[in-house]
Amino acid sequence: MKPVEANIDGLVGPTHNYAGLSFGNVASEKNALSVSNPRQAALQGLKKMKFMHALGFTQLVMPPHPRPDLRAMRALGFDDITKVPDELLQPLYSASAMWTANAATISPSADTADGKVHITPANMASKLHRTIEANVTATYLREIFPVPDFVHHLPLPSTAMFYDEGAANHMRLCKSYGEAGTEIFVYGGATARYPARQSLQASQAVARLHKLTPSRTIFLLQTAEAIDAGVFHNDVIAMSNERLFIYHEKAYENITEHKKALDEFISIVITEKELSLRDAVKTYFFNSQLVTLPSGKIMVIAPAECEENKNAKTCFEKLVSDGHVSQVHYLNLRESMRNGGGPACLRLRLSLNETELTKINGNFILNDALYETLCQWIEKHYRDRLSVVDLRDPSLAQESLEALSELHRILGIKTEML
């Protein structure tokens, strides 16, 4: 059985906006209150999915969440969206579920003691606008990966001790897809400026739930310096694929302790001199998708911002000239990038064998026909301009929920959640 890489990308929702909700995420803070273009955002993300599909990867689509989140609104004691104050209205309208690298942690069957794929939806407990994602994420994941073929766990308890932000803080190294791998969990500790968004307790709990082999499980501590420079997730400072692990020299406190376990893989350290932490955060160099093409060649799918930065571009050129990577493809994802989400943030990666692949709900797999349908759906329902002031417009709620209800019909979603 030939195992494959699959990706689930979040389709950007019709309420994509810049509300500055993520303290510690430099782009979100910097672009707070600027005007977004939800239509462009969704089309940019969809184009990436089409690109992956054309390369031969299995590409899945994760629908946007219902926004405004009327369930969360009612749970807070409101019965009318026009009465909700801004500080709650903005989180209830956030389209942040688009960044599916934060949707869950997934361990492939090659790594788990029971030989099954294990899925733990992230609780995203550190931010209100993101923690309301957990239930719907769990529901969508169950639609895509039916029980009992896939094992679904509950999100961890929603409290600081268990802050969990999913695959954005999780990597997997292996000799080749299908072979047992080494899973790496990255967590944060005390910092001076910005909060850590993944806890060690959470990472350890996920490793236990997924029945991983302790000798092939590593826990890396992020440096406070990196978090305080805006590295709010590990995928802003490291990337990995199969045996290749590329990370910034300032990423981890304790990586030397794990040198032996990492020895069987190829580690490439990018120095501060080659690419400063500041430029890593600015360009999202490490938030690239590092993929093995069906031909066996390694490709990087990088944000267009890297092409415009001399040092980032030079680092990629060096990876190519050293033979680690055969090709770099730059993609325009500016709408998402302005909220701190690059190519890797927009996707949840998993490795599946051929049998598991046949068990996925095929309605969510992108093909040319679904791509066309989704483009038309976006053109029909999305605005090309949205500011936080527009969140006060009651017709936006109606537009957004109507669009989602049509999308649920397109994708054949059975669970009632609107």
C-beta closer to ligand SUG: residue 112 or 400: 400
Residue 385 CB, nearest distance to ligand SUG (Å)? 16
State in angstroms the smallest separation of the CB of 17 from ligand SUG.
6
The region of 221-229, 298-306, 333-341, 408-416 touching ligand SUG under the rule CB under 6 A is 333-341
Q: Residues 157, 199: contact at Cβ < 8 Å?
A: no
User: In the structure encoding, which two tokens stand for residue 118, read together?
Assistant: 């294990």
Q: Does 18 bind ligand SUG (CB under 6 A)?
A: yes
Torsional class of 385: left (φ above 0), alpha (ψ -120 to 50), beta (otherwise): beta
The two structure tokens encoding residue 280: 């890593």
Q: Which of residues 89-108 bind ligand SUG (CB under 6 A)?
A: 94, 96, 99, 101-102
Residue 61 tokens, joined:
């689509």
Residue 235 as a binder of ligand SUG (CB under 6 A): the answer is yes
Query: Shortest approach of ligand SUG to residue 93 CB, angstroms?
Result: 9
Instruction: Answer yes or no whether residue 291 interacts with ligand SUG by CB under 6 A.
Output: no
Catalytic residue check, 165: yes
Comparing CA positions, the residue from 67, 150, 90, 94 lying closest to residue 407 is 67
Q: According to CB under 6 A, which one of 130, 172, 349, 381 is a site residue for ligand SUG? A: 130
> Is residue 345 part of the contact set for ligand SUG (CB under 6 A)?
yes
Residue 198 is a binding residue for ligand SUG (CB under 6 A): no
341: contact with ligand SUG by CB under 6 A: yes
* 3-class secondary-structure state, position 350: strand
Residue of 8, 134, 236, 315 that binds ligand SUG (CB under 6 A)? 236
Residue 13 sits in the site that holds ligand SUG (CB under 6 A):
no
Token pair of 66 as six digits: 């219902």
For residues 162 and 184, give the distance between their C-alpha atoms in angstroms, rounded to a whole number. Answer: 17
> Catalytic residue among 129, 233, 381, 408, which?
233
Number of shown-chain residues binding ligand SUG (CB under 6 A): 22
Q: What does the buried/exposed string (b/e) look like for 105-125 if buried means 16 or more CB atoms within 10 Å of the residue's CB?
A: bbbbbbbbeeebbbbbbbbbb
Binding-site member from 7, 15, 22, 289 for ligand SUG (CB under 6 A): 22
Please report the sign of the dihedral spanned by the C-alpha atoms of residue 307, residue 196, residue 180, residue 56. Answer: negative
**Does 328 sit near ligand SUG (CB under 6 A)?**
no
Q: Which stretch binds ligand SUG (CB under 6 A): 56-64, 140-148, 227-235, 297-305?
A: 227-235
Q: Characterize 335-370 residue by residue with b for buried, 16 or more Cβ atoms within 10 angstroms of its Cβ, and e for exposed.
A: bbbbbbbbbbbbbbbbbbbeebbeebbeebbbeeeb
The closest of 80, 59, 106, 156 to 367, measured between CA atoms, is 59
117-121 and 150-152 beta bridge pairing = parallel
Site for ligand SUG in 163-192 (CB under 6 A): 168
Please select the residue that binds ligand SUG; options are 28, 182, 223, 240, rule is CB under 6 A.
Answer: 28
Joined tokens for residue 111: 């790594």
Tokens of 207: 């490793």
Q: Which stretch binds ligand SUG (CB under 6 A): 18-26, 153-161, 200-208, 397-405?
A: 18-26
Report whether 167 contacts 177 (CB < 8 A).
no
Residue 21 in the binding site for ligand SUG (CB under 6 A): yes
Smallest distance, ligand SUG to C-beta of residue 15, A: 10
Annotation says 345 is catalytic: yes
* Residue 306 annotated among the catalytic residues of the structure: no
In this structure, are residues 266 and 245 in contact, taking their beta carbons and an 8 Å threshold? Answer: yes
How many degrees, rounded to 5, is the angle at CA 116 between CA 413 and CA 10? 35
10, 20, 121, 181: which one binds ligand SUG (CB under 6 A): 20
CB of 86 within 8 A of CB of 74? Answer: no
Taking Cα atoms as reference points, which of 27, 78, 8 lies closest to residue 340?
A: 27
Q: Does 242 bind ligand SUG (CB under 6 A)?
A: no
Determine which residue in the list 59, 223, 339, 351 makes contact with ligand SUG, applying CB under 6 A.
339
Positions marked active-site: 165, 233, 345
The residues that touch ligand SUG, with contacts defined as CB under 6 A, are 18-22, 25, 28, 94, 96, 99, 101-102, 130, 168, 232-233, 235-236, 339-341, 345
